[in-house]
Amino acid sequence: MPKIEVNEGLFFSLLGRRMERAELDLALQSAKAELDEWDTGTGGAGSAASDDGASARVIKIELNDTNRPDLWSTAGLARQLRLKDGATRPNYPFFSRQGEVQAASRRVIVEESVGSVRPFLAGFCVSGRGIDEAFLKDMIQTQEKLAWNFGRKRRSISMGIYRSAKIQWPVLYRAVEPRSVRFVPLQETREMDLLQILAEHPKGREYASILEGEPLHPLLLDSAGDVLSYPPIINSADLGAVQVGDTELFIELTGTDLPSVTLASSIVACDFADLGWKIEPVMVEYPWTTPFGRSVVFPWYFQKPLGIEAGRASRLLGKSLNVQQVALALSVMGSSVDIHGQYVSAWPAEYRNDFLHQVDLIEDIMIGVGMEYFTPERPRDFTIGRLTPIELLSRKAKGLLVGLGYQEMIYNYLGSGKDYLEKMGIDGTKVIRVANPMTENYEYVRNSPMPGLLGTESISSKAAYPHRIFEVGKVAFRDDGQNYGVSTRQYLGALSVHADSDFNEVSSQVATLLFYLNREFSVEEPVAGAEDPRFIPGRQAIMMYRGTAIGVYGEVHPRVLSAWGIGLPAAAVELDLDLLLA
């Protein structure tokens, strides 16, 4: 979930009025956003921040909806709040659309060669009063959030901004042999070829994996042959270095998916327009036919309308809404709407493309109407509640173990190979290993409650004896007969440690437990050579229930005790409770 910093002065000027903390908190709900941090300086929490110094302060905001990249900028977020606050939908006349294409004096020519590596580009120019510090910072943030969160860390979208006045049009987008081109990238003073940039430039190293294995790399250059950028890695230090005061810019986005790249360019264009910049469309000429045509003039409106019946929305929201209410709510959320009888057609706002299904419209209606409009209603359906059979059996077993003097414990399910395998003296062929552990301390899924119990004993020698502890919980292990190749079971494990603990103690307790669980079980000796290495040979018993081995108990092997640093005798039982339900 992206977090953004908005410039306080810029934000409130775009919003049209100042808000206090409590009001902003509430207003942000319409954007599924949360106020993360707002140091209002002298005012303190809750007080009305003064205008003084607002342009130097930032508000940190967390945005929850990953399908609304339009909200990840100062202008975009302010726009949503402004609409909810009663403002009319902004007009963005610079958009081209099917049958209504704007004039474009500048062109970008996409060459065949980028088709296999990064085939799509959208772009436009802007001119205005000059970039100030706050807006430049905001623009860099927008670029980062779009490319990182929406563009999967630049893999599917990256963005570049250039000083358009110095560009010799048309601009060319082509793929080149990476050793064949040299230019000075941003944050550098020397010319480097593309592979050098990937190997030596910090941005190159960070994003090199995107171009791994590609014979040709994307490059953007102007008609004079000067490099604009090396997408999605780095801009040129010359044409691609934007500074405070620049009044004419070229903005482009490249990527692997045309709708995403197009939407991202629309979002940026609307942000510039809201800040009073003039958007100058650019024609991008493809060597092949795209879903939007062979030549596409950006910003391009490609979204499709989606219709909803007022009754459908009312049913899912549990509140009767008429068609006017539905239309109004949708338009508050930025859509442009037409009413046809009981239906509302919603054309998504230029900067949005998140209506996959009618339910997405319904949520917009909910937010547009306002949460306060919907009151909780008690459910009317009658259903019977019940616990699972294994939960009920587990609770019975826990009650009996408590009666036998055992303290219940609960452990994590991930642990180290040292604890789960080495110290237990088992070979581990059935133990599940995580392929991408964060550390070796959380590398294996436990196959038994015993390591947890022994771990407790190993750190509890100062606790008053006797120690009788147990746990009922899940274990998992490899099981080739299953579709997943693994099984998850509910196990009971108990451990008794004190000077006189022995086989007789645990065998009597196991017999008592099973007696009161009302399960007839028998005991077998392990086959010679197939003893459980965790227990002393000759002092371990296999529990049999209906012809199946359900568990084992006995005296813990001194080799295991010594591996855990335990200095007293211990007896333990491990029991598969799921098998008792068979």
Listed ranges 8-16, 235-243, 292-300, 450-458: which one lies at the site for other proteins (CB under 8 A) = 450-458
φ and ψ at residue 316, rounded to 5 degrees: -70, -25
Q: Give dist(CA 328, CA 338) in Å, integer.
A: 10
Q: Residues 132, 206, 309, 360: which binds other proteins (CB under 8 A)?
A: 360
Listed ranges 42-50, 199-207, 270-278, 396-404: which one lies at the site for other proteins (CB under 8 A) = 396-404
In the block, residue with structure tokens 């001119």:
127
In the block, residue with structure tokens 């039982």:
573
Q: How far is the CB of 148 from other proteins (least distance, A)?
A: 9
Listed ranges 118-126, 139-147, 247-255, 371-379: which one lies at the site for other proteins (CB under 8 A) = 371-379
Give the H/E segment covering residue 74: helix 74-84
Task: Tell me: does residue 385 bind other proteins (CB under 8 A).
Answer: yes
Task: Tell me: does residue 401 bind other proteins (CB under 8 A).
Answer: yes
Listed ranges 8-16, 136-144, 213-221, 428-436: which one lies at the site for other proteins (CB under 8 A) = 428-436
Amino acid at site 578:
D
Q: Ramachandran region of residue 571, left (φ > 0), alpha (ψ -120 to 50) or beta?
A: beta
Task: Tell me: does residue 416 bind other proteins (CB under 8 A).
Answer: no
Which tokens belong to 34? 């949360």
- Burial level of 110, CB count in 10 A (0-12/13-18/19+)? buried
The residues in 319-348 that bind other proteins, with binding defined as CB under 8 A, are: 319
- Kindly write out the interface string for residues 281-320 of this chain, putting x where it contacts other proteins by CB under 8 A and - elsewhere: -----------------------x----------xxxxx-
Q: Residues 35, 172, 186, 414: which binds other proteins (CB under 8 A)?
A: 414
Q: Give dist(CA 63, CA 80) in Å, integer.
A: 13
Listed ranges 180-188, 482-490, 511-519, 553-561: which one lies at the site for other proteins (CB under 8 A) = 482-490
Angle subtended at Cα 303 by Cα 259 and Cα 145, rounded to the nearest 5 degrees: 50
Q: Residues 195, 241, 390, 563: which binds other proteins (CB under 8 A)?
A: 390
Listed ranges 213-221, 241-249, 278-286, 378-386: which one lies at the site for other proteins (CB under 8 A) = 378-386
β-bridge mates for residue 473, sequence order: 491
Q: Residues 88, 383, 527, 547: which binds other proteins (CB under 8 A)?
A: 383
- The interaxial angle of helices 8-15 and 133-145, nearest 10 deg, is 90
Nearest CA-CA partner of 576 in 550, 545, 538: 550
Listed ranges 86-94, 128-136, 191-199, 352-360: which one lies at the site for other proteins (CB under 8 A) = 352-360
Task: Tell me: does residue 476 bind other proteins (CB under 8 A).
Answer: yes
What are the angstrom distances between the C-alpha of 300 and each of 22, 96, 103? 38, 5, 12
- Kindly write out the interface string for residues 430-449 of this chain, putting x where it contacts other proteins by CB under 8 A and - elsewhere: --xxxxxxx--xx--x----
Q: Residues 53, 245, 425, 485: which binds other proteins (CB under 8 A)?
A: 485
308-340 burial, b at 16+ Cβ within 10 Å, e below that, comes to bbbebbbeebeeebebebbbbbbbbbbbebeee
Q: Residues 382, 528, 529, 530: which binds other proteins (CB under 8 A)?
A: 382
Q: Give dist(CA 297, CA 395) in Å, integer.
A: 68
Which tokens belong to 575? 């029991």
Q: Give dist(CA 582, CA 577) in Å, integer.
A: 9
The residue among 251 and 513 lying less far from other proteins, judged by its C-beta, is 513
Q: How far is the CB of 383 from other proteins (least distance, A)?
A: 4
The residue among 153 and 174 lying less far from other proteins, judged by its C-beta, is 153
Q: How far is the CB of 155 from other proteins (least distance, A)?
A: 9
DSSP 532-567: -TTEEEEEEEEEEETTEEEEEEEEEPHHHHHHTT--
The residues in 257-276 that bind other proteins, with binding defined as CB under 8 A, are: 259
Listed ranges 79-87, 100-108, 135-143, 391-399: which one lies at the site for other proteins (CB under 8 A) = 391-399
The residues in 146-175 that bind other proteins, with binding defined as CB under 8 A, are: 149, 152, 156
In the block, residue with structure tokens 């604009």:
228
Q: Is residue 470 within 8 Å of 405, Cβ to Cβ?
A: no
The residue among 17 and 386 lying less far from other proteins, judged by its C-beta, is 386
Q: Is residue 92 within 8 Å of 277, Cβ to Cβ?
A: no
Q: Give dist(CA 298, CA 247) in Å, integer.
A: 20
Task: Tell me: does residue 488 bind other proteins (CB under 8 A).
Answer: yes
Q: How far is the CB of 19 from other proteins (least distance, A)?
A: 17
The residue among 435 and 527 lying less far from other proteins, judged by its C-beta, is 435
The residues in 28-47 that bind other proteins, with binding defined as CB under 8 A, are: 29-30, 32
Task: Tell me: does residue 374 bind other proteins (CB under 8 A).
Answer: yes
The residues in 50-109 that bind other proteins, with binding defined as CB under 8 A, are: 64-67
Listed ranges 270-278, 323-331, 459-467, 555-563: which one lies at the site for other proteins (CB under 8 A) = 459-467
Q: Give dist(CA 67, CA 116) in Å, integer.
A: 27
What are the angstrom distances between the C-alpha of 190 and each of 180, 199, 201, 441? 16, 14, 11, 46
- Tell me how crowded residue 414 is: count the other CB atoms within 10 A of its CB: 16
Q: How far is the CB of 363 from other proteins (least distance, A)?
A: 4
Q: How far is the CB of 450 from other proteins (least distance, A)?
A: 13
What are the angstrom distances between the C-alpha of 92 and each of 47, 107, 249? 36, 21, 19
Per rule CB under 8 A, count of chain residues that contact other proteins: 92
Q: How far is the CB of 70 from other proteins (least distance, A)?
A: 14
Q: Residues 371, 523, 581, 582: which binds other proteins (CB under 8 A)?
A: 371
